[in-house]
Amino acid sequence: MTTIFGIPLAAFLGQLLIGLINGSFYAMLSLGLAVIFGLLRVINFAHGAQYMLGAFVALLLLQYLGVDYWLALAIAPLVVGLFGALVERTMLSRLYDLDPLYGLLFTFGLALTIEGTFRYLYGAAGQPYSVPPALSGGTNLGFMFLPNYRGWVVAVSLVTCLGTWLLIEKTKLGAYLRAATENTVLVQAFGINVPLLLTLTYGFGAALAAFAGVLAAPIYQVSPLMGTNLIIVVFAVVVVGGMGSILGAIVTGYMLGIAEGLTKVFYPEASNIVIFVIMAIVLLLRPAGLFGKDA
Amino acid sequence: MADMVETTASGERSATAQSIRIGFLLAGLAALAVAPLFLYPVFLMKLLCFALFACAFNLLIGYTGLLSFGHAAFFGGAAYFTAHAVKEWHLTPELGILVGVLGAALLGLVIGFFAIRRQGIYFAMITLALAQMFYFFCLQAEFTKGEDGIQGVPRGHFLGLLDLSTSTNMYYFTLAVFLVGLLVIWRFVNSPFGMILKSIRENEQRAVSLGYSVQYYKLGAFVMSAALAGLAGGTKALVFQFATLTDVTWQMSGEVILMTLLGGIGTLIGPVFGAGLVVTLQHYLATSDFPVTIVTGVVFMACVLLFRRGLVGEFYASRLGRRLGFAYRR
Domain boundaries, chain A: 3-123+145-285
Q: Are B267 and B7 in contact (CB under 8 A)?
A: yes
A22/A271 Cα distance (integer angstroms):
12
CATH T-level fold of A3-123+145-285:
ABC transporter involved in vitamin B12 uptake, BtuC (1.10.3470)
pLDDT tens digit sequence for A204-237: 999 999 999 999 999 988 999 888 889 988 988 9
Instruction: Tell whether A110 is within 8 A of chain B (Cβ).
Output: yes
Q: Which residues of A touch B117 (CB under 8 A)?
A: 283-284, 287
Q: Are A76 and A214 in contact (CB under 8 A)?
A: yes
Those residues with Cβ within 8 angstroms of residue A100's Cβ, 6 or more apart along the chain or in another chain = A41, A42, A43, B120, B121
3-state secondary structure B146-201: CCCCECCCCCCEECCCEECCCHHHHHHHHHHHHHHHHHHHHHHHCCHHHHHHHHHH
Q: Which residues of B touch A280 (CB under 8 A)?
A: 114, 130
What's the mean pLDDT in B210-227?
Answer: 94
Nearest by CB to residue B293, choosing from A119, A232, A277, is A119
Question: Residue A294 pLDDT more than 70?
Answer: no
d(CA A113, nearest CA chain B) in Å = 4
Question: Residue B316 pLDDT more than 80?
Answer: yes
pLDDT tens digit sequence for B235-258: 999 999 999 999 999 999 999 999
What's the mean pLDDT in A173-200?
Answer: 88
Question: Residue B323 pLDDT more than 80?
Answer: no
Residue closest to A41 by CA, chosen among A91, A101, A126: A101
| A123 or B327, greater pLDDT | A123
Which DSSP category does B145 fall into? Answer: T
d(CA B24, nearest CA chain A) in Å = 31
Q: Residue A203's pLDDT is what?
A: 95
Q: Residue B2's pLDDT is what?
A: 41
Interchain contact, B298 vs A109, CB within 8 Å? yes
Interchain contact, B308 vs A120, CB within 8 Å? no
Q: Which residues of B touch A105 (CB under 8 A)?
A: 257, 261, 300, 303-304
Nearest by CB to residue B124, choosing from A104, A106, A110, is A104
Inter-CA distances, B168 with B39, B157, B211, Å: 12, 13, 51
pLDDT tens digit sequence for B37-84: 888 889 999 999 999 999 999 999 988 889 999 999 999 999 999 999
Task: Report pTM.
Answer: 0.90
**Chain A CA closest to residue B113:** A284
Q: Which residues of A touch B296 (CB under 8 A)?
A: 109, 112, 116
ipTM of the complex: 0.87
Instruction: Tell whether A124 is within 8 A of chain B (Cβ).
Output: no
What's the mean pLDDT in A121-148?
Answer: 84
Question: Residue B131 pLDDT more than 80?
Answer: yes
Q: Residue A110's pLDDT is what?
A: 95
Which DSSP category does A64 fall into? Answer: I
Residue closest to A181 by CA, chosen among A293, A51, A78: A293
Instruction: Tell whether A96 is within 8 A of chain B (Cβ).
Output: no
- Report, in this order, helix, strand and coil percent for chain A, each rounded to 5: 75, 5, 25
Q: Residue A98's pLDDT is what?
A: 87
Question: Residue A74 pLDDT more than 50?
Answer: yes
Please give the mean pLDDT across all residues of chain B. Answer: 88
B175/B177 Cα distance (integer angstroms):
5
d(CA A92, nearest CA chain B) in Å = 8
Nearest by CB to residue B122, choosing from A94, A239, A276, is A239
Q: Which residues of A touch B125 (CB under 8 A)?
A: 43, 235-236, 238-239
Q: Which residues of B touch A239 (CB under 8 A)?
A: 118, 122, 125-126, 129
Q: Residue B4's pLDDT is what?
A: 46
Nearest by CB to residue A94, choosing from B120, B291, B305, is B305
Q: Are B85 and B99 in contact (CB under 8 A)?
A: yes
Q: Are strands A138-140 and A7-8 parallel, antiparallel or unpaired?
A: unpaired
Q: Residue A295's pLDDT is what?
A: 41
Q: Residue B43's pLDDT is what?
A: 92
Interchain contact, B130 vs A43, CB within 8 Å? no
Sequence-ordered alpha helix ranges (H) in A132-227: 148-170, 172-182, 184-189, 194-216
Domain boundaries, chain B: 40-249
Q: Residue B328's pLDDT is what?
A: 58
Q: Residue A266's pLDDT is what?
A: 84
Residue closest to B262 by CA, chosen among B322, B319, B305: B305
pLDDT tens digit sequence for B75-96: 999 999 999 999 989 888 999 9
Nearest by CB to residue A283, choosing from B126, B137, B140, is B126
| A35 or B3, greater pLDDT | A35
Spell out where chain B has E strands: 157-158, 162-163
Interchain contact, B1 vs A228, CB within 8 Å? no
Chain B residues with a Cβ under 8 Å from any Cβ in chain A: 1-3, 67, 114, 117-118, 120-122, 124-126, 128-130, 132-133, 136-137, 140, 250, 254, 257, 261, 290-301, 303-305, 308
Interchain contact, B297 vs A110, CB within 8 Å? yes
Question: Residue B330 pLDDT more than 60?
Answer: no
A238/A32 Cα distance (integer angstroms):
11
Q: Residue B51's pLDDT is what?
A: 96
d(CA B127, nearest CA chain A) in Å = 10
**Chain A CA closest to residue B309:** A102
What's the mean pLDDT in B28-36?
Answer: 86
Q: Are A1 and A9 in contact (CB under 8 A)?
A: yes
Q: Which residues of B touch A112 (CB under 8 A)?
A: 254, 293-294, 296-297, 300
Secondary structure (DSSP) of A80-123: HHHHHHHHHHHTGGGGTTS-HHHHHHHHHHHHHHHHHHHHHHH-
pLDDT tens digit sequence for A246-268: 888 899 999 999 999 889 888 88
Q: Residue B327's pLDDT is what?
A: 65
Q: Place A24 in a pLDDT band, splitting at 50, 70 and 90.
A: very high
Nearest by CB to residue B125, choosing from A115, A235, A284, is A235
Nearest by CB to residue A116, choosing from B126, B297, B308, is B297
Q: Are A184 and A61 in contact (CB under 8 A)?
A: no
At B230, the amino acid letter reads: G
State the count of interchain CB pairs (< 8 A) between A and B. Answer: 119
Those residues with Cβ within 8 angstroms of residue A189's Cβ, 6 or more apart along the chain or in another chain = none
A80/B154 Cα distance (integer angstroms):
50
